[in-house]
């Protein structure tokens, strides 16, 4: 029942978003900070909230508990956002310590953050950003165009998707308040990439960009956000303290729109405690040791939800991908891929892995990206049609060869594989599972002789150009002229409406060609103390820049 | 004695050489790439190759082995691939929680096991004896993570007496420190206590059946004095062996308990390092545990001679 409610809420939001976008003219090429604050309201309930919601921040002047203890399961290799894509680094630092030129509003549109405004030229080849004045870094210095150019170019070089898209194009300083980039390709989708990529385009000082360790990661984490990085004790905690000289933007007291708007930092210290075991974290929340916990398991979720002292929230956090090996073996045969897709019962597969923590949906984009939602190709989704699958196997000339599925023991992939095995065997496919740890999977998947399909998950991305599996070099190797040509058309669109239309066509074809099978979307599930307010749940997990527990 | 210690130290050299070769080979045979683990999904082949070169992972394996050995002799054990710290400093920062946890677990195990084992032996066949047997069977069968979860449920969630997880260093206050490691130490110590209890009981029963004990009884020596003064001393060889084994087992096997209670010890460092294929860290921790094992066994051998002069360590 609850799952259905969440789906209904997501559907309403998606429709509303499309209407708002249509009314607002999606092809507008100029955006200002004023425009950001006029966007949709994102307030929502704390309990059972869905993507795109946040609760109201504690009222201005309210004294809050000094430290929020946030239990997280893992730590990142580095907190340098330019060069690693780990979700946990982004969840801790993006928007909290580091800010970007633009950020995402609730419609997944790029709106100004450290920029005053930005403008895309008519041919979509030049993107110009006007910078805000008087923004302070955590080291006390003031943000300059040189800092922005150094940061943005380091981000491009550290983020393969951006460097592939932009080629040799780099940011340059126009004057003290202006930077721009000019490229041979359309830059229409660059602002949302800057605003919401897995490797955020964090703005730091030019000096910090050059101060790297032997691994090439930044040694100092100097941002402009409402919290400054204070301490990281390996395997224990990461501590962020309020930055007293923070220069906020947006209007005081006004609710945030997505990630955009006024950040008040009502809590003095955010402490991310590393608690590897999820059951221990749940117990810690119930005993009062932690104020909020991450990644609540589906087993614990109903119990925590029933606890009157706690609030729970969930939101789509990414999608599951069953990636075929298109280079050789059974996965190279399109009819065989279609047979596999036709045989699958997505509900069963996702239940095996996530319990109730998932949502069905044929769209490759997650529900947080309302603008990009489409049901193109949905007629091929979640068919679970045994007879049709058998017919497709005959068409494919399948002669009983073993279909090898590679998966890791991480995040329920192995459980999905076991459920798939029985479904595929029911239509006559011989299946062999190879379950390894994640590091081994990342190694094995490079070798096309080792598997026919592997299972992974992808965190949500703001634009479909960031879907890695459309890259011909990405393990799975979807080398198909039509697919590549449609993808290129989308990246070269010069208006958002045009890009959306091309994305719909691409996704429709994808469900026929099957670079991946996307059985659905997994939810991030969180729980926190009832008194905690102001948690931003827009996308990718909770953010605490407006969160606090008011003292009685 | 000095010659014995010197001989044992010299005998460590081939042992550690073999261990170093085996662990180096095993770690490098396991699939997985530290550069790919660190850079994530978005990294290109060029990014990964560049990081390989920077980390020296593109060199021949034999060369990598000797680089590691030379790092050991430099005292820093090389740099961690993931954390840009020397492995020595990482091990040192994770050593304190593990040592304190291990020592407390051992104290708990000894305090539970030896008295109960002795009582069970002296009351053979009684309700107490059967209860101790059941308790020790439970301790051996019950996985430490399950016991740990139960302890959290009772002492942290229900009665809110102790923290459910996390580590407070000694410098922040002894009682806070003790509270932070008490539950994990009980979870870790209970299994060892069970084994120690069985061994104490069995060993004491054997000694209590000896002629000299019968003689003492015939002379009218009180039972308490027979057990504590005469018999217990002769069970010490067995108990010391079990304590030595428990110590090594606790140190090397604390990973599960440390993960459960979020104790940033060597076990957790090892588990995390395996996940990110941080070769130098994995190799160095395994080598350290091997050294520790050899040293503990050496001390156990020396103690045999102290508690039982019939054992000639030389």
Q: What is the pLDDT of residues B146-204, one digit of tens each?
A: 999 999 999 999 999 999 999 999 999 999 999 999 999 999 999 889 999 999 999 99
Q: Are residues A156 and A259 in the same domain?
A: yes
> Is A283–B164 a contact, with Cβ atoms under 8 angstroms apart?
yes
Above 90 in pLDDT, residue A239?
Answer: yes
> Is B31–A436 a contact, with Cβ atoms under 8 angstroms apart?
yes
Query: How many domains does chain A fold into?
Result: 2
Size of interface A-B (CB pairs under 8 A): 141
Q: Residue A76: closest CA among chain B residues belongs to which residue?
A: B38
**Which of B92, B143, B104 is CA-nearest to residue B269?**
B92
Q: Are residues A196 and A219 in the same domain?
A: yes
Above 80 in pLDDT, residue A343?
Answer: yes
Q: Using CB atoms and an 8 Å cut-off, which of residues 129-158 of chain B contact chain A?
A: 149, 152-153, 156-157
pLDDT: which is higher, A533 or B250: A533
Q: Residue B260: closest CA among chain A residues belongs to which residue?
A: A277
Following DSSP, what letter does each residue of A302-361 receive, concatenated?
HHHHH-TTEEEEEEEEEEEEEEE--SSSGGG-HHHHHHHHHH--HHHHHHHHHTT-EE--
User: Average pLDDT of A333-352?
Assistant: 97
User: A143 to chain B nearest CA, in Å?
Assistant: 28
Above 60 in pLDDT, residue A81?
Answer: yes
Residue A54: which pLDDT band, with cuts at 50, 70 and 90? low
Residue A427 within any structural domain of the chain: yes
- Computed over every residue of chain B, the mean pLDDT equals 88
Residue B42: which pLDDT band, with cuts at 50, 70 and 90? low
Of the candidates B79, B164, B167, which has its C-beta nearest A214's C-beta? B79
> Is A77–B47 a contact, with Cβ atoms under 8 angstroms apart?
no
> Is-contact A284 A297, C-beta < 8 A?
no
Mutual angle of helices B61-74 and B2-29, in 10-degree steps: 140
Mutate to test the interface with A, among B84, B143, B168 (most CBs of A within 10 A): B84
Q: Which of A55-69, A237-251, A319-333, B165-179 has the weakest average pLDDT?
A: A55-69
pLDDT value, residue B31: 85
Residue percentage of chain B with pLDDT more than 90:
48
pLDDT value, residue A19: 34
User: A419 to chain B nearest CA, in Å?
Assistant: 26
pLDDT value, residue A55: 67
Q: Are residues A280 and A329 in the same domain?
A: no
Query: Considering only CB atoms, which chain B residues are within 8 Å of A67?
Result: none
Of the candidates B42, B81, B268, which has its C-beta nearest A160's C-beta? B42
Q: Are residues A201 and A326 in the same domain?
A: no
Q: Is the pTM of this model over 0.90?
A: no
Of the candidates B39, B156, B264, which has its C-beta nearest A287's C-beta? B156
What is the CATH classification number for the domain harbouring A448?
Answer: 3.10.105.10
Length of chain B: 314
Give residue A138's domain range: 2-309+530-537
User: A5 to chain B nearest CA, in Å?
Assistant: 32
> Is A85–B160 a contact, with Cβ atoms under 8 angstroms apart?
no
Q: Are residues A356 and A277 in the same domain?
A: no
pLDDT value, residue A9: 40
pLDDT value, residue B152: 96
Q: Are residues A436 and A417 in the same domain?
A: yes
> Is-contact A297 A426, C-beta < 8 A?
no
> Is A280–B261 a contact, with Cβ atoms under 8 angstroms apart?
yes
- Computed over every residue of chain A, the mean pLDDT equals 88
Query: Considering only CB atoms, which chain A residues are within 8 Å of B276?
Result: 77, 439
Q: Check if B82 contacts A (Cβ < 8 Å).
A: yes
For β-strands A30-32 and A115-120, DSSP reports them as antiparallel
Beta bridge partners of A53: A537
Of the candidates A84, A236, A284, which has its C-beta nearest B38's C-beta? A84
User: B156 to chain A nearest CA, in Å?
Assistant: 6
Query: Considering only CB atoms, which chain A residues are within 8 Å of B157?
Result: 283, 286-287
Of the candidates A280, A439, A468, which has its C-beta nearest B152's C-beta? A280
Above 60 in pLDDT, residue B28?
Answer: yes
> Is B157–A286 a contact, with Cβ atoms under 8 angstroms apart?
yes
pLDDT value, residue A221: 97
Query: Considering only CB atoms, which chain A residues are within 8 Å of B54?
Result: 214-216
Residue B297: which pLDDT band, with cuts at 50, 70 and 90? confident
The superfamily CATH assigns to domain B87-307 is MetI-like (1.10.3720.10)
pLDDT value, residue B228: 85
Q: Are residues A120 and A252 in the same domain?
A: yes
Q: Using CB atoms and an 8 Å cut-off, which of residues 211-270 of chain B contact chain A?
A: 259-262, 264, 268-269
Above 50 in pLDDT, residue A21?
Answer: no
Q: Are residues A274 and A334 in the same domain?
A: no
Q: Using CB atoms and an 8 Å cut-off, which of residues 27-66 of chain B contact chain A?
A: 30-33, 36-45, 47, 50-51, 54-55
Q: Are residues A225 and A359 in the same domain?
A: no
User: A238 to chain B nearest CA, in Å?
Assistant: 13
Above 80 in pLDDT, residue A380?
Answer: yes
Residue percentage of chain A with pLDDT more than 70:
90
Above 90 in pLDDT, residue A552?
Answer: no
Residues A484, A505: Cα–Cα separation, whole Å: 12
Q: Which of A47-61, A107-121, A132-146, A468-482 has the weakest average pLDDT?
A: A47-61
Domain ranges across chain B? 87-307
Q: Are residues A373 and A484 in the same domain?
A: yes
What is the CATH classification number for the domain harbouring A192?
Answer: 3.40.190.10
Residue percentage of chain B with pLDDT more than 70:
97
> Is A236–B264 a contact, with Cβ atoms under 8 angstroms apart?
yes
User: Average pLDDT of B225-245?
Assistant: 88
Residue A15: which pLDDT band, with cuts at 50, 70 and 90? very low
Q: Residue A275: closest CA among chain B residues belongs to which residue?
A: B262
Task: Render pLDDT for A152-162 as a digit per residue (tens, 0 to 9).
Answer: 999 999 888 88
Task: Render pLDDT for A266-300 as a digit per residue (tens, 0 to 9).
Answer: 999 999 999 999 999 999 999 999 999 988 988 89
Above 70 in pLDDT, residue B48?
Answer: yes
Of the candidates B42, B261, B262, which has its C-beta nearest A199's C-beta? B42
User: Average pLDDT of B16-40?
Assistant: 86
Above 80 in pLDDT, residue A536?
Answer: yes
Tell me what ipTM this predicted complex has. Answer: 0.83
Q: Residue A442: closest CA among chain B residues belongs to which residue?
A: B32
Residue A264 within any structural domain of the chain: yes
pLDDT value, residue B312: 60
Q: Are residues A375 and A286 in the same domain?
A: no
User: Average pLDDT of B72-76?
Assistant: 89
Task: Render pLDDT for A194-223 as a digit per residue (tens, 0 to 9).
Answer: 998 778 999 999 999 999 987 788 999 999
Q: Are residues A232 and A112 in the same domain?
A: yes
User: A72 to chain B nearest CA, in Å?
Assistant: 11
Of the candidates B45, B164, B275, which has its C-beta nearest A284's C-beta? B164
User: B109 to chain A nearest CA, in Å?
Assistant: 24
Query: Considering only CB atoms, which chain B residues are within 8 Å of A157?
Result: none
**Which stretches within A132-266 are classed as H helix?**
145-158, 160-166, 190-196, 206-210
Residue A546 within any structural domain of the chain: no
């Amino acid at each position: 029942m609850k799952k259905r409610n969440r789906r209904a809420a997501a559907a309403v939001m998606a429709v509303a978003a499309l209407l708002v976008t249509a009314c607002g003219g999606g092809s507008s090429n100029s955006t200002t900070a004023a425009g950001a604050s006029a966007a949709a309201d994102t307030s929502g309930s704390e309990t059972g909230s869905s993507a795109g919601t946040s609760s109201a921040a504690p009222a201005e002047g309210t004294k809050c508990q000094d430290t929020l203890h946030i239990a997280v399961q893992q730590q990142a290799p580095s907190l340098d956002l330019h060069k690693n894509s780990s979700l946990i680094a982004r969840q801790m630092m993006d928007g909290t310590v580091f800010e970007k030129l633009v950020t995402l509003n609730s419609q997944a549109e790029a709106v100004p953050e450290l920029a005053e405004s930005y403008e895309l030229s008519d041919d979509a080849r030049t993107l110009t950003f006007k910078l805000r004045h008087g923004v302070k870094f955590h080291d006390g210095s003031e943000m300059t165009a040189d800092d922005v150019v150094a940061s943005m170019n380091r981000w491009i070089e550290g983020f393969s998707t951006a460097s592939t898209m932009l080629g040799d194009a780099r940011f340059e300083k126009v004057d003290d308040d202006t930077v721009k980039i000019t490229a041979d390709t359309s830059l229409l989708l660059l602002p949302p990439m800057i605003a919401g990529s897995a490797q955020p385009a964090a703005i730091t000082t030019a000096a910090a960009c050059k101060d790297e360790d032997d691994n090439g990661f930044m040694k100092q984490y100097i941002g402009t956000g409402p919290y400054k990085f204070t301490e990281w004790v390996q395997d224990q905690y990461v501590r962020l303290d309020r930055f007293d000289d923070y220069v906020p933007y947006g209007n005081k007291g006004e609710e945030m729109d997505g990630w955009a708007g006024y950040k008040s930092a009502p809590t003095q210290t955010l402490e991310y405690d590393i608690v590897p075991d999820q059951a221990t974290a749940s117990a810690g929340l119930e005993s009062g040791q932690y104020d909020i916990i991450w990644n609540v398991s589906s087993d614990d979720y109903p119990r925590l939800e029933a606890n009157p002292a706690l609030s729970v929230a969930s939101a789509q956090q990414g999608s599951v991908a069953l990636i075929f090996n298109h280079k050789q073996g059974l996965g190279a045969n399109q009819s065989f891929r279609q047979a596999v897709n036709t045989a699958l019962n997505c509900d069963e597969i996702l239940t095996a892995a996530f319990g109730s923590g998932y949502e069905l949906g044929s769209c490759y984009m997650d529900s947080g990206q309302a603008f990009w939602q489409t049901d193109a190709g949905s007629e091929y989704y979640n068919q679970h049609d045994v007879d049709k699958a058998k017919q497709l196997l005959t068409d494919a000339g399948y002669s009983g060869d073993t279909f090898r599925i590679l998966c890791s023991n991480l995040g329920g992939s192995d459980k999905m594989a076991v459920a798939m095995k029985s479904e595929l065997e029911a239509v006559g496919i011989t299946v062999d599972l190879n379950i390894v740890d994640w590091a081994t999977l990342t190694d094995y998947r490079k070798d096309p002789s080792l598997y026919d399909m592997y299972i992974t998950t992808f965190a949500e991305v703001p634009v479909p150009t960031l879907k890695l599996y459309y890259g011909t070099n990405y393990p799975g190797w979807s080398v198909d002229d039509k697919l590549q040509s449609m993808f290129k058309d989308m990246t070269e669109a010069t208006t958002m409406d045009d890009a959306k239309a091309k994305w719909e066509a691409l996704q429709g074809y994808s469900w026929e060609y099957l670079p991946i099978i996307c059985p659905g979307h997994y939810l991030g599930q969180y729980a926190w103390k009832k008194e905690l307010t102001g948690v931003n749940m827009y996308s990718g997990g909770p953010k605490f820049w407006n969160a606090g527990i008011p003292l009685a | 004695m000095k010659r014995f210690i010197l001989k044992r130290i010299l005998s460590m050299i081939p042992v550690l050489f073999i261990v170093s070769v085996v662990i180096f080979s095993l770690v490098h045979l396991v699939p997985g790439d530290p550069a790919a683990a660190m850079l994530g999904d978005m990294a290109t082949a060029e990014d990964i190759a560049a990081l390989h070169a920077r980390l020296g992972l593109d060199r021949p394996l034999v060369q990598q082995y000797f680089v590691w050995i030379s790092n050991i002799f430099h005292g820093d054990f090389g740099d961690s691939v993931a954390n840009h710290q020397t492995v020595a400093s990482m091990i040192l920062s994770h050593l304190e929680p593990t040592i304190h946890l291990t020592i407390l677990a051992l104290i708990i195990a000894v305090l539970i096991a030896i008295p109960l084992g002795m009582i069970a032996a002296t009351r053979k066949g009684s309700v107490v004896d059967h209860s101790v047997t059941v308790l020790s069977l439970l301790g051996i069968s019950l996985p430490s993570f399950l016991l740990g979860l139960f302890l959290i449920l009772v002492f942290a969630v229900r009665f809110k007496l102790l923290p459910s997880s996390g580590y407070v260093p000694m410098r922040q206050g002894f009682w806070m420190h003790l509270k932070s490691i008490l539950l994990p130490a009980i979870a870790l110590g209970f299994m060892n206590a069970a084994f120690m209890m069985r061994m104490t009981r069995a060993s004491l029963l054997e000694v209590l059946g000896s002629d000299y004990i019968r003689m003492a009884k015939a002379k009218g020596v009180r039972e308490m004095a027979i057990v504590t003064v005469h018999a217990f001393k002769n069970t010490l060889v067995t108990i010391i062996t079990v304590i030595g084994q428990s110590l090594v087992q606790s140190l090397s096997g604390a990973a599960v308990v440390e993960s459960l209670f979020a104790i940033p010890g060597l076990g957790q460092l090892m588990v995390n390092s395996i996940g990110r294929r941080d070769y130098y860290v994995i190799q160095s921790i395994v080598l350290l545990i091997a050294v520790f094992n050899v040293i503990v066994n050496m001390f156990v051998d020396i103690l045999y001679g102290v508690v039982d002069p019939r054992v000639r360590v030389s």
